[in-house]
Structure 1
Amino acid sequence: MEDINEKILWEGYGLRFRGGMRTRTGLICRTDQGLRELKKPRGSAESLRLAFDVKEQLQKNGFHTISRFYPALDGEPFYRYDGVLYALEDVMPGEALAEESAAAFVRGAETLGRMHRAAVGLHSDAAHWDRERLPGLYARRRAELAKIRRRNDRRGNYDAIDLLLLRQYDRLMGQVREAEELLQEGGYGEVLDKAAETGAFCHNAYKGEALRVSEKGEIFVGSFDKCSSELPLADLAYYLRRYFKKTEGTAAGVAAMLESYGKYMPLSADDLTILQGMLVYPEKFLRLVNEYYNRRRACVSPAMQERLAAAAREEEKGRILKDIIEKGC
């Protein structure tokens, strides 16, 4: 394995490998130019090109608490070896931000707002803005849900997951329709166009291990390999959901997070309407339902039943969050 890492570092980046140490995210390498972390990123080549441009813009605008990509010798923000992509970054601080209190999430929301603010001016050839992406996704998921219900009713022989879906169907379908209406009411397409014009991105993994605390108490952000051209509000919606998942979640905590985020990214009435739509949409449950039925229901595993039951409980929290914001926290 060390021979491969040595080869990647030398052929891809012109660095001499002096040894390494495994971490959860990759391999911390000692090189002739200092410590670097070599990773197998989860994103595609195109998403890594966008991530590189995002990080450069953040640095340019003063958001320095990130781990920058080192370009390979060919100029790409990754090196391709034997069909696998590798990325080389600075080593992140070792302590993850504890997600145990509202105070921690308020700090995280403030950092998220500063990061989104620092993306102003971002223009990347790897950015692909689509004003119909989110409305189209919601519409497809609604159609898929209705199709699954009709198919189950025709068959008439329900398994445990069919029954779970049957019990949740009306509520889920109502939430998807409400989410679609809120996106339309908030002018999702117009807001997206403005974001594309001014410069913006969505991190898509702003949580847990991606947030690291330095010895000075600064929050560093990593895991940019899945970022995309989407409204930054999607990150905020996800982080609010995570707050409710990891803590006892209160309206006061939600208000504090929105205030901290809004210091850097002021939220308009349209933004708050779109945010409510993102929160009420039962994303995780529908994704799991789609995954299960697309596999032709080979078996009804207890693990899948539990995942779906847990997701259903999470979606109820999404509605609570939506109602909190609607009432002005």
Structure 2
Amino acid sequence: MKRIAEAYGWEKARFRRINDTVWKVRARQGEFALKRPTTSPERLAFITAALQYLKQKQFPWFAPLVLTGQGEAIWQEGGESWLATGWVQGRGCDFRRRQDCLQAARTLAALHQVAHGLTPPPGSRPKTMYWAWPEKYEERIEELQAFQKLLAMKGKLNSFERGFLQALPRGLQLARQALEVLNSSQYQVVASEAERAQAFIHRDVAARNFIIHPDGHAYLIDFDYCRQDLPAADVARLLQRAMKRQGWQREKAEAILAAYEEIRPLSAEEKTVIAAFLTFPQKFWRLANRYFYRKEGWNQEKYAAKLNKAVNYWEKVPEVCALLLAG
């Protein structure tokens, strides 16, 4: 860590490990977050460019990138890459708190207001999803059907497999509904606008990536999954994460969307696409993928519990989707 401190010009630096890839640094110059990213150098080049762009656009509610003493965004040694940001003071965001959800929505909207117009720098390779969603959903529908065929060839089924087959018709119906929207003109409008604007998003808008600052604002951290994509994808994820904690009630979704639209109004086409993202049975597909392909070492009780949660989600979403489509 001594060489890292020298590279950044940190005097009397003390390092406290937070997890496998993040350290908190206290130095004479202030407090910083030091990270050893696991992403590719090409992807990392885009992420650091995005952080610098947000600072240039004067977006206030995030952890800004800290450059080395040589003005470099990334410090490399021994085949490892390191980056540093400012340390955001405050407490962790809690999506069970209504005000935390609303502040997170406002911050996300403010991000989307400025997160466009960034041309990827030479040598970078951002993940680009503007037009990729219909194909991705088609692939996932095919995978669900493949899982069904695998079980048809199997003899005795366990409790999870029986539950999966019982839920599959409804899961496929929802997946096809979502795909139908993404094959519509509404999606084409949203994707075209995002591509033309060179929009980029945070992508991982979980509560752990918002810090509630003493000034009351929600600050965004950890842009590791930042990519070129539709702002609607971020909004859908925020609704999923927040409503999971708040309870899937129409008035709570309405409040979150209203807070977002205080800063950045959503078009009717964007709301339709958000509803499609919410409709697709993502948790159901992911659980099946883990069971059949990745062979997660969970016991049957854990698989059954996760399947039950995934299926229960389907009953709670339609009212929120109706709110979006009515708007």
Q: TM-score, normalised by structure 2?
A: 0.88
**1:173 equivalenced with 2:172 (yes/no):** yes
Matched to 1:101, the amino acid is R
- Cα deviation for residue 14 of structure 1 reads 4.6
Report if the CA contact (8 A) 1:244-1:317 is conserved.
no
Q: Which moved more, 1:126-135 or 1:100-109?
A: 126-135
- Cα deviation for residue 301 of structure 1 reads 4.0
Report if the CA contact (8 A) 1:106-1:256 is conserved.
yes
Report if the CA contact (8 A) 2:178-2:280 is conserved.
yes
Mapped to 2, the partners of 1:78 and 1:306 lie a distance apart of: 42
- In structure 1, runs of 5+ residues without a counterpart are none
Matched to 2:18, the amino acid is T
Question: Residues 247 and 205 of structure 1: is their aligned pair in 2 closer, same or farther, counting only changes over 3 Å?
Answer: same
Mapped to 1, the partners of 2:93 and 2:80 lie a distance apart of: 30
Partner SS for 2:84:
strand
C-alpha root-mean-square deviation of aligned residues, in Å? 2.5
Report if the CA contact (8 A) 1:211-1:220 is conserved.
yes
Mapped to 1, the partners of 2:17 and 2:187 lie a distance apart of: 43
Instruction: Tell me the equivalent position of 2:84.
Output: 88
Mapped to 1, the partners of 2:112 and 2:297 lie a distance apart of: 43
Instruction: Tell me the equivalent position of 1:59.
Output: 55
Instruction: Tell me the equivalent position of 1:230.
Output: 229
Mapped to 2, the partners of 1:31 and 1:298 lie a distance apart of: 43
Matched to 2:29, the amino acid is Q
Residues 149-298 of structure 1 correspond to what in structure 2 (within 5 A)?
149-295=148-294
Aligned equivalent of 2:36, options 30, 35, 40: 40
Mapped to 2, the partners of 1:141 and 1:38 lie a distance apart of: 36
Report if the CA contact (8 A) 2:93-2:210 is conserved.
yes
Question: Residues 177 and 73 of structure 1: is their aligned pair in 2 closer, same or farther, counting only changes over 3 Å?
Answer: farther
Report if the CA contact (8 A) 1:139-1:180 is conserved.
yes
Q: Which moved more, 1:152-161 or 1:133-142?
A: 152-161
Matched to 2:147, the amino acid is I
Partner SS for 1:77:
coil
Report if the CA contact (8 A) 2:14-2:26 is conserved.
yes
Report if the CA contact (8 A) 2:130-2:228 is conserved.
no
Mapped to 1, the partners of 2:308 and 2:202 lie a distance apart of: 27
Mapped to 2, the partners of 1:327 and 1:296 lie a distance apart of: 41
Report if the CA contact (8 A) 2:213-2:219 is conserved.
yes
Report if the CA contact (8 A) 1:175-1:282 is conserved.
yes
Partner SS for 1:158:
coil
Mapped to 1, the partners of 2:34 and 2:157 lie a distance apart of: 48
Mapped to 2, the partners of 1:241 and 1:232 lie a distance apart of: 14
Matched to 1:152, the amino acid is L
**1:106 equivalenced with 2:106 (yes/no):** no
Report if the CA contact (8 A) 2:243-2:252 is conserved.
no
Question: Residues 261 and 152 of structure 1: is their aligned pair in 2 closer, same or farther, counting only changes over 3 Å?
Answer: same
Q: Which moved more, 1:309-318 or 1:84-93?
A: 309-318
Instruction: Tell me the equivalent position of 1:326.
Output: 325
Instruction: Tell me the equivalent position of 1:21.
Output: 16
Mapped to 1, the partners of 2:85 and 2:295 lie a distance apart of: 41
Mapped to 2, the partners of 1:307 and 1:141 lie a distance apart of: 18
Q: Which moved more, 1:189-198 or 1:168-177?
A: 189-198
Mapped to 1, the partners of 2:73 and 2:217 lie a distance apart of: 25
Mapped to 1, the partners of 2:247 and 2:290 lie a distance apart of: 29
Report if the CA contact (8 A) 1:119-1:201 is conserved.
yes
Mapped to 1, the partners of 2:59 and 2:318 lie a distance apart of: 33
How many residues of Structure 1 are paired with residues of Structure 2 in the alignment? 323
- Cα deviation for residue 133 of structure 1 reads 1.5
Q: TM-score, normalised by structure 1?
A: 0.88
Matched to 1:46, the amino acid is E
